Structure 1
Amino acid sequence: MARIAGVDLPNSKRIDIALTYIYGIGPVLSKNIIEETQIDPSIRVKDLTDEQLNKLQKAVEKYPVEGELRSQVSQNIKRLISIGAYRGIRHRRGMPVRGQRTRTNARSRKGSKRTVGISRKK
């Protein structure tokens, strides 16, 4: 099993799909990395040579991924909260941040409905 950036890539997947299992690498960045390393995108992870794995590892290290990227995102959110920006207030309240409607919908962000007055059966 190939391990890149602390993530075990699934052996049976194509390399262009397997790279997207790394946090911070999507389909476009995966395609760019594969073009940069000149590896066939249809090759399976289990068929990669050690040389190809080293090339991929070096290419992925150029980008912020996994823990580094997660900490950047959390620092950005903390900054928005600390300066009292509108987006920071929405983060603090656990509400949608990017302008979605909240009168209906937004249940995944707001949590389950809280009833007032009567207690409902669970």
Structure 2
Amino acid sequence: MEIEKHNWPEKYDINKLVTIQNDIDKIINETKTSVRRNDRYADPGDSLMLDGHKVVVEQVYPQKLGEITEENAQQEGYKSLEAYKNGITNIHGEDVWDPEQVVWVHELKVVG
């Protein structure tokens, strides 16, 4: 899915991108390398600190929930797409999984 960069929404505070300790642990252990959110929290090259580790945002792009693949789910730290869907709907409710819903993918790398 393409959205011209000049039409991207304003970004939120990057320090609010990842707030759940289990997700922070997965990122530090590099079993979670991407974060999908309804809003954009960073641009490529932005960084944040998670439990004393520097994490750099390598890529940011929009994606529809219906376009998420098994590989994408594994990048989110889940074993399968079904497990990822269950995780999202357990947190946010069944109605949140709309295949046309656009989310913002933030691909991360621990650098320090």
**Greater share of strand:** 2
TM-score of the two chains, using structure 1 as the length reference: 0.25
More RCO (CA 8 Å, sep 6+): 2
Higher share of residues assigned helix: 1
